[in-house]
C-alpha cells in the first residue's frame, strides 16, 4: 500500500493523538503509543466521512491570522460588554450581506466561525449558491465599514491560506 | 504573583459570564440577544478554564492541561450553535427591533 | 486573596444562571428558549469549574466535559428540529 492510502489525513493523526493525551492528562509512554495508534486507525476507519483533504498552503499566514483572531476575540468581548451594559435604545443592529470570494467548504466555515466570535457580528445564513453570507451586527452605524473590515481582515488571509 | 493572576482570571471569567447572561436577559430582540452568550459567555468560561488549568498545575501534581480541551471545544462549537440559532430564527421570521433601512433579508428556503 | 475572589465569582455566575432561567421561562419564542438552554449549559460548566477550584478536586472536569459535549448536541438537535420539523431524516 502506498503512503497515501496508509496515512490519508496526515494532519488528523497528530491532532487526534494530542487530544487523546489531553484527555488522559498524561505524557506516559503507553498513552503516547496508544494515542498515535488511535490517531492512525480512526482516520483509516472514517475515511469516507472526510471527502476533502485539508491542505494548508501558507502556515505562516495561518499563524498570523490566528494571532490577529485571538487578539480580536478579547477586543470584541470588551466592545460587546460595553454595548450590553449601555442603553439598548442606542444600539443600531443591522443585517449585512457579505459577498464571498472563498470557495472551499473549509474556508467558508472557518470564516463563519471567525465572524461569530469577533466584533459584534454573528453569521446567520449562507445563501444556497454559496456566494453571500448574511451577517447580523449588534451595533453597526456604518454597514459598509463592517463589510469591508470582514473582507480585509479575515477573508483575505483565509483565502491565502486555503485557496492560493 | 501566581495568586494575583489566578484571582484576575477567575474574576474576569465570572464577570464575562455574567455580562453574557445579562445581554441575554436585557436586550430587545432575538438577534441582538444572540450576541451576548456567543461571545462574552464563551470567553468567560474560557478564562475560568484557564484559571483552573493554572490552579491545578500549581498544586504540584504535574501539568494539568486537559481544561484546554473544553476551552477549544467551546470555542469551536459556540459559533456553530449561534449560526444554527440565527438560521432557525430567520426561518421562523422572528421580529426585529430597531433595524436600519438596509435589511435585504428574504426567506430563501 | 482566593478566599475573597471565589465567593464573588460564585455570586456572579449564580446571577448569570438566574437571568438565563428568567429568559428560559419568559421566551417569548422557541429560539429564545433554545438560546437560554445553550447559555445555561455553558454557565453550568463555569459553575462546575469554579467548584472544582474551590474544593481543590479535579473530579469535576469529567462532568464539565460531558456537559459540554451533550449540550452542544442538544442545541444542534433542537435547532434542526426548528429548521426541518424533524430531527432524524
Residue B100: pLDDT over 70: no
B109 → chain A, closest CA residue: A128
Question: Residue B107 has what pLDDT?
Answer: 46
Task: Decide if B70 contacts C65 (C-beta within 8 A).
Answer: yes
Percent of chain A surpassing pLDDT 90:
0
- What is the tally of structural domains in chain B? 1
Model pLDDT for residues B17-50, shown as the tens digit of each residue: 998 888 888 887 888 888 888 888 888 888 899 8
Question: Residue B14 has what pLDDT?
Answer: 92
Interatomic CA distance for residues B18 and C35, integer angstroms: 15
Residues of A in contact with B26 (CB under 8 A): 84, 88
Neighbors of chain A with 3 or more C-beta pairs under 8 Å: B
Q: CB of A125 within 8 Å of any CB in chain B?
A: yes
Of B19, B38, B76, the CB nearest to A84: B19
- What is the tally of structural domains in chain A? 2
Note down the domain range covering A120: 59-163
Cis peptide before C28 (omega within 30 of 0): yes
Do the domain assignments include residue A41? yes
Residues of C in contact with B27 (CB under 8 A): none
In terms of domains, do A141 and A68 share one?
yes
Minimal C-alpha gap between B35 and chain C (Å): 10
How many beta-carbon pairs below 8 A join chains A and B? 122
Which residues, at least 6 apart from B38, have a Cβ–Cβ distance to it below 8 Å?
A116, A117, A122, B78, B79, B81, B82
Average pLDDT, whole number, for chain B? Answer: 81
Residues of C in contact with B92 (CB under 8 A): 29-31, 82
Q: Please identify which residue in the block is written with the cell numbers 449562507.
A: A126
Distance of CA A103 to the CA centre of its chain: 14
Question: Residue A2 has what pLDDT?
Answer: 61
In terms of domains, do A73 and A145 share one?
yes
Residues of A in contact with B105 (CB under 8 A): 95, 134
Q: Could you report the average pLDDT of every consecutive run of 10 residues in chain A (164 residues)?
A: 66 84 82 87 78 72 85 84 79 79 79 81 77 80 79 80 71
Do the domain assignments include residue B96? no
Return the bridge partners of B32, or none.
Answer: none
C65 → chain B, closest CA residue: B70
Note down the domain range covering B61: 2-91
Task: Decide if A143 contacts A96 (C-beta within 8 A).
Answer: yes
Q: Which of B5, B6, B14, B30 to mutate to test the interface with C (most CBs of C within 10 A)?
A: B14
Give SS3 for A140. coil
Interatomic CA distance for residues B61 and C82, integer angstroms: 47
**Inter-axis angle of helices C30-55 and B67-91, to 10 degrees?**
170
Q: CB of B28 within 8 Å of any CB in chain A?
A: yes
Do the domain assignments include residue B101? no
Q: How many CB atoms lie within 10 A of CB A125?
A: 21
In terms of domains, do A26 and A65 share one?
no
Residue B86: pLDDT over 90: no
Higher-pLDDT residue of B101 and C17 is C17
Do the domain assignments include residue A110? yes
Question: Residue A43 has what pLDDT?
Answer: 80
Say whether A117 and B79 touch across the interface (CB within 8 A): yes
Query: Which residue stretches of chain C have pLDDT < 70?
Result: 86-89
Do the domain assignments include residue A54? no
Asked whether the ipTM of the predicted complex exceeds the cut of 0.90, the reply is no
Vertex C47 angle, CA C37 and C59, to 5°: 115
In terms of domains, do A72 and A125 share one?
yes
Amino acid at each position: 500500500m502506498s503512503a497515501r492510502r496508509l496515512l490519508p489525513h496526515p494532519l488528523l493523526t497528530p491532532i487526534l493523538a494530542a487530544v487523546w493525551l489531553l484527555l488522559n492528562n498524561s505524557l506516559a509512554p503507553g498513552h503516547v503509543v496508544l494515542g498515535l495508534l488511535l490517531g492512525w486507525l480512526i482516520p483509516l476507519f472514517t475515511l469516507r466521512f472526510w471527502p476533502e483533504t485539508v491542505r494548508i498552503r501558507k502556515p505562516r499566514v495561518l499563524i498570523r491570522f490566528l494571532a490577529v483572531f485571538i487578539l480580536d476575540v478579547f477586543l470584541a468581548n470588551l466592545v460587546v460588554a460595553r454595548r450590553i451594559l449601555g442603553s439598548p435604545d442606542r444600539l443600531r443592529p443591522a443585517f449585512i450581506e457579505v459577498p464571498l470570494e472563498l470557495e472551499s467548504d473549509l474556508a467558508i466555515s472557518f470564516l463563519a466561525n471567525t465572524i461569530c466570535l469577533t466584533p459584534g457580528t454573528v453569521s446567520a445564513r449562507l445563501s444556497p449558491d454559496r456566494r453571500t453570507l448574511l451577517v447580523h451586527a449588534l451595533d453597526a452605524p456604518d454597514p459598509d465599514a463592517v463589510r469591508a473590515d470582514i473582507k480585509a481582515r479575515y477573508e483575505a488571509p483565509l483565502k491565502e491560506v486555503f485557496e492560493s | 504573583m501566581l495568586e494575583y493572576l489566578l484571582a484576575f482570571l477567575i474574576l474576569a471569567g465570572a464577570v464575562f459570564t455574567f455580562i453574557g447572561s445579562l445581554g441575554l436577559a436585557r436586550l430587545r430582540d432575538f438577534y441582538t440577544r444572540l450576541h451576548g452568550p456567543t461571545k462574552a459567555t464563551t470567553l468567560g468560561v474560557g478564562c475560568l478554564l484557564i484559571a483552573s488549568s493554572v490552579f491545578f498545575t500549581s498544586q504540584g501534581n504535574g501539568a494539568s492541561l486537559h481544561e484546554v480541551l473544553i476551552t477549544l471545544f467551546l470555542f469551536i462549537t459556540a459559533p456553530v450553535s449561534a449560526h444554527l440559532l440565527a438560521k432557525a430564527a430567520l426561518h421562523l421570521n422572528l421580529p426585529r427591533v430597531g433595524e436600519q433601512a438596509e435589511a435585504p433579508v428574504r426567506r430563501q428556503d | 486573596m482566593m478566599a475573597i475572589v471565589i465567593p464573588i465569582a460564585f455570586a456572579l455566575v449564580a446571577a448569570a444562571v438566574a437571568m438565563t432561567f428568567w429568559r428560559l421561562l419568559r421566551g417569548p419564542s422557541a429560539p429564545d428558549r433554545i438560546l437560554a438552554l445553550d447559555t445555561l449549559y455553558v454557565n453550568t460548566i463555569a459553575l462546575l469549574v469554579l467548584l472544582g477550584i474551590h474544593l481543590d478536586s479535579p473530579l469535576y472536569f469529567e462532568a464539565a466535559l460531558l456537559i459540554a459535549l451533550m449540550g452542544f448536541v442538544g442545541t444542534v438537535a433542537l435547532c434542526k428540529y426548528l429548521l426541518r420539523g424533524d430531527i432524524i431524516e
